[in-house]
Structure 1
Amino acid sequence: MRAIEPGRTGAKTISVEEAGKWLGVSRNTAYEAAARGEIPTIKIGRLIRVPVAPFERLLGMSVSTMTEAA
């Protein structure tokens, strides 16, 4: 079971915590991975967000269909 499905909500960004849930890792692990550049992020002021399209590409998923890329 997946906690979220980023592309299906229409949202262009998700929180680092949501990305961590989707990956099956803890909140702290997700923020550490984001700090190392392993999870793509953008900063808006002090807010850190994960852009959905690059995140899905990182996981080898099709952005438009949410299926594994061939």
Structure 2
Amino acid sequence: MRVEAMEIFSGLFALIILIADIYAVIQVLSSGTSGVNKLVWTLLIIVLPVIGLIIWMFAGPRGSSGVRV
């Protein structure tokens, strides 16, 4: 059985996005922001994995010294 290079790339990309999304959700849940904001960010990351991750990277909740959303 021959596996196409595109299938390997797609699977690897999906795995990287999954790992990054799990990391982002953990960071959101451990941030100092309110419970409602945590819920909204978590749902955004889960429902829109790629777009939610990109938005979280630029506008997501930060640690205690960063900007909070």
The answer to whether the superposition gives a TM-score over 0.5 is: no
TM-score by length of 1: 0.29
Larger Rg: 2
TM-score by length of 2: 0.30
Question: Whose helix proportion is higher, 1 or 2?
Answer: 2
